[in-house]
Every structure is written in C-alpha cells, then in structure tokens.
Amino acid sequence: MTPLERFLEYVSFDTMSKSGAEEYPSTPGQRVLLDHLKAQLIRMGITDVRQDPRYGYVYASIPSNCPDRTIPAIGFIAHVDTSEAMSGKDVKPQIIENYDGGDIVLNRKLNIVTKIEDFPEMSDLKGKTVVVTDGTTLLGSDDKAGVTAIMEMAQYYAEHHKEAHGTICIAFTADEEVGRGVDFFDVQGFGAHYAYTVDGGRAGDLSGETFNAADAKVTVRGCSVHPGEGYGRLKNALQILMELHALLPEHERPENTRFREGFYHIVQTDGDVEEAHAEYIIRDHDTAAFEDRKLFFLKAAGTINSRYGEGTVTVELTDQYYNMKPHLDRHPDVLRKAIIAMAKAGMMPKVEPIRGGTDGARLTFMGLPCPNLCTGGGNFHGKHEYLCVEELEETVEMLKQLVREWAAEE
C-alpha cells in the first residue's frame, strides 16, 4: 500500500466530530476508524497495541532495539476526526497529477473552483500530484494525512528490525476538532518522554507555539411583546446580541488578523426574540493580551447589561488551552531535532506559531512536551482542502529521520 492509497482509504471513513455531545468519541464513525487502525497495527506485527475500551484511543509502541543505550521514548500522535465545519461523508477525492499550478475546477456542474487568486500558495505545487475534493465535502487531510504518515512510519519500523531506534510510541485520538482530543488521554500509559502531533500544514511547517484559547457561551434574555405594542416593553434578544457583537472590534476578527494577532470569532448563533445564544472563541498568543481580551469581552457584556438591566446578558467563559511555548523552551532538543529531521527529509523548516491549537498544546501542559509537525495538506475545514502527495511522502521520511535523530549517539 502506498501512502496515497492509505490516505484514500482513511478519507473514506466518515469521522466528523460533533461539538456539545456528551459521548466520547462524539460520533460513532470515529470509533470505526480507530478500530480499523488498531487492526492494521496488529497486522503489521506490532505486538504492543492496545485500545481504551471506553474512549477508543488507540495506543501502540515499538520497543527499543538498543538495550545497551538509554534513548528517550518518542511519541507520534494524530487525530481521526474531521471538522464539523463541512461534511466529511462520502468524500470523492480527485487526483491531479502534474498539477499545472492554476485554477482547479472541483465541480463543473456546481461551478465550484479553487482559484489561485484566492489561494495563491497553491501555485507552489506546480508539477506535483495534488488530491482535492469534488467541492461537496471537505477532504479530511486534517488529520488523516497525519494518521497516514504515522502508519507508514510504523510499517517501516515493523519491517526494518535491524535499524537502531529507541521506543516509538503511537497514539490516535478523537474529537480534536471540538477541543476534546486529549480529555481522557493516558499520558503515563502512553510511555513517551517527548512527542509530536502530526497535524500541521505544508512541508516544513513546525510549530512550538500556539494560541491561548478560551470559549465564551453567551445567553441573552429578552422580553417578547407583540411588536405593535412593544414601545418601552419589548426587549429583542436577537437585537441585543447584535449590539453586543458590535462592541467587539471589527479589526480583531480572524479575517482581519494574522501572525501573532489575536481575535474574537463568533462561531454559532441561535434563538428568537425571547432568548438568543451565541458561542465565541477568543484567541491570543500573548498571555497578558489573552487575559485582557477576555476581560474586554466581559466588559462588553457589562455595557449591554447597563443598558437593558442586569442579567440580560450572561457569559460562560472557559479556558480551553494555553500557549505551549514557555514549556517547550525548557526542552530545546524537541524542536532542534525536528528541524534537523526536516532538513534531512528534504524540507525547508519553517518554525512559526500556529494560529490554532493541537492536542499537543494540552499534552504539553499535561507534562508531555509536544510540538506540531507538518502533513503536506492545506485549506483545511472546507471544500478547497487539498493534499500534496509528494509532501505527504516527505512527511513520512521526516518521521523516520526524527526517530533516527533521537537514536543517534551524540
């Protein structure tokens, strides 16, 4: 099985996660793929494969074959779920060989086109093999490309017994896209001293810095009165919610920010005149700015309450994860070795902050230093998502080089 064939197999599984679900995993399709991965690892001949009976996590390890040396155990982690931003059911991948670097017609009938003017970075892929969607679903390269790369690496070391390596730990998680990827992760049982999530973008992308992240659930309580008799009495919860949103700086939305700039992002709304709800995510790389941003949000709610009465707006504010950089700075070898491995795999390493979060951000705070590595994909969470096959293959090579780098005698 080639990396491309393996990837196409995995994207055939519908694994979209669902926010707000009480179950873990939040959708049954994720468990189906996790079960499948467990069976594949066992067929590879890996003897230490186990699955959490309740939560579905798949763990595996390939023991060190250097008993006379102390080599840190290294872990590799990817998530099986796809974003609920767009359906991942019945994905119909299209394979474009020798891509010409121009616009890609995803669906002629529906007039869906990936345009270079909108995604100029895709022109870098000219001459390579690109996998895209048919425009009706996302692709699932986030993070089935990461799953593919780890499985390819596992297959290699399952077959090459004589190549020196330390203990290689592998894990597959669920519900990363809804912020619950490692809610029940067994860090101690995983057994790694250091780990890497394989959940990034283009070849060479390496992230040891993430946002600080919070979730804000807003409830607005109005008072429904017949509009013909509403003077002085009607309180329209929907209108009040819009007023709250208008208090947040327009230039601090995701579409207007980049690099290390933080934002407020409204992701969901529902309601009527009597009661309305909204959910926001709040992000910032800088810890002090993150705290200020949360305080500003609460003050905006307070402003609305001063207009319409205390309790009109309530906010449930919850921290989700924190920037892992301060913790990773204490373990410089984790990033240093990744940079070396990338270079040996033919990549140009680009160490940049990720404008998002990964399972690794939370794992780092759980005591497992865990930066994020590339996969070869891009335009995640939508119909324009793609995977570059050559960059996926480079990712597989990078993982092997990383194992070698940790096993190298210094």
Side-chain half-sphere of 9: how many Cα atoms within 13 Å?
Answer: 14
Rounded Cα distance, 330 and 131, in Å: 38
Which residue in the list 152, 175, 176, 359 is annotated as catalytic? Answer: 176
Q: How would you write 137-184 as a 3-class SS string?
A: CCCCHHHHHHHHHHHHHHHHHHHCCCCCCCCEEEEEECCHHHCCCCCC
Q: Max alpha carbon distance in the chain (Å)?
A: 85
Residue with token string 């700015």 = 289
Q: Which residue type, as a one-letter code, is found at position 113?
A: V
- Which two three-digit tokens encode residue 9? 């197999």
Question: H/E element holding 219?
Answer: strand 212-221
Rounded Cα distance, 81 and 359, in Å: 12
274 a catalytic residue: no
**Are the CB atoms for 349 and 181 separated by under 8 Å?**
no
385 a catalytic residue: no
Rounded Cα distance, 181 and 276, in Å: 29
Which residue in the list 81, 177, 393, 397 is annotated as catalytic? Answer: 81
Sequence-distant (6+) residues with CB within 8 A of 344 are: 398, 401, 405
Q: What are phi and psi of 59, to 5 degrees?
A: -120, 145
Q: How do strand 112-114 and strand 104-107 relate by DSSP bridges? A: antiparallel
> Angle at CA 25, nearest 5°, toward 20 and 31?
150
**Are the CB atoms for 311 and 319 separated by under 8 Å?**
no
Rounded Cα distance, 43 and 50, in Å: 13
Would you name the residues annotated as active-site residues? 81, 176
